[in-house]
């Protein structure tokens, strides 16, 4: 029986097969407005003294929760508020399952000052060049979708074109995908097979993360006490999307959250 992740990857392979011949990797490597812009370091923003570590995410829907916001919602309506106090901004670009768009990535880069993460299901090096051309500063490499060899190749390629990378893991076994080309490790509390969330995943894996590698907790963070717990455990980054995007005004929800965190 196929899982949600299996369906996403199957759709992603079809998507790449359609678009890759239209825009070969060489085109991305030699063209594009964003090649002229210096990339921003998420690592630096997370380790900066006084950083709240929040990577605020923009996404319109999810396979498990359905639609949060209509397709007509402009990314800038939310990101301008995220940009004021977030350590970074995550843009979910998968269209079929998350309602995303690569144009969202461009808009976010233009109107923000902090690093922009392209969050998608990357299974081909071509997507990394595409990410750079559309304005990403950071790419997500999901261990559940890749072999250790692919992670090393993709992280090395990302580094060669000026991008940082986050290795996303869900269990201790996936930490074996780590290599020194990876800049950060994200622990996703959401099981990608069932989409169930358990914050204890982050707490259990923190001791297994290599020393000196910034750790990011992802999914299931809905209150400031959880962030304080995760921060005390050793996490420097906290990726939060659904908690803000489900509200009528995601930007204001983010602002209120940060104010509570700073009390």
The residues assigned a catalytic role are 57, 59, 119, 168, 188, 218-219
Residue with tokens 């970074």: 88
Residues 6+ apart with CB under 8 A from 82: 56, 58, 89, 112, 251, 254
φ, ψ for residue 168 (rounded to 5)? Answer: -95, 125
Q: For the chain, give the number of residues.
A: 263
The overall longest dimension of the chain from CA atoms, in Å, is 52
C-alpha distances (whole Å) from 244 to each of 19, 63, 156, 179 are 32, 17, 33, 32
């Amino acid at each position: 029986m196929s899982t949600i992740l299996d369906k996403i990857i199957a759709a992603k392979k079809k998507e790449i097969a359609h678009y890759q011949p239209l825009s070969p990797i060489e085109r991305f490597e030699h063209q594009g407005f964003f090649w002229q812009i210096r990339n921003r370091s998420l690592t630096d923003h997370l380790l900066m003294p006084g950083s709240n570590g929040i990577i605020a995410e923009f996404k319109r829907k999810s396979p498990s929760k359905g639609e949060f916001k209509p397709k007509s919602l402009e990314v800038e309506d939310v990101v301008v508020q995220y940009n004021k106090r977030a350590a970074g901004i995550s843009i979910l670009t998968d269209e079929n399952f998350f309602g995303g768009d690569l144009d969202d990535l461009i808009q976010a880069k233009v109107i923000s000052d902090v690093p922009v993460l392209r969050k998608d299901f990357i299974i081909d090096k071509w997507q990394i060049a595409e990410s750079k051309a559309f304005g990403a500063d950071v790419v997500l490499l999901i261990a559940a979708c890749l072999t250790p060899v692919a992670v090393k190749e993709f992280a090395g390629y990302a580094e060669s074109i000026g991008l940082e990378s986050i290795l996303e893991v869900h269990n201790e076994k996936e930490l074996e995908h780590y290599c020194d080309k990876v800049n950060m490790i994200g622990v996703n509390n959401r099981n990608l097979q069932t989409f169930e969330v358990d914050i204890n995943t982050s707490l259990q894996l923190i001791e297994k993360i290599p020393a000196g590698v910034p750790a990011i907790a992802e999914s299931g963070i809905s209150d400031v006490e959880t962030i304080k717990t995760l921060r005390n455990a050793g996490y420097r980054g906290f990726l939060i999307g659904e908690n803000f995007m489900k509200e009528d005004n995601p930007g204001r929800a983010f602002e209120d959250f940060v104010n509570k965190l700073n009390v």
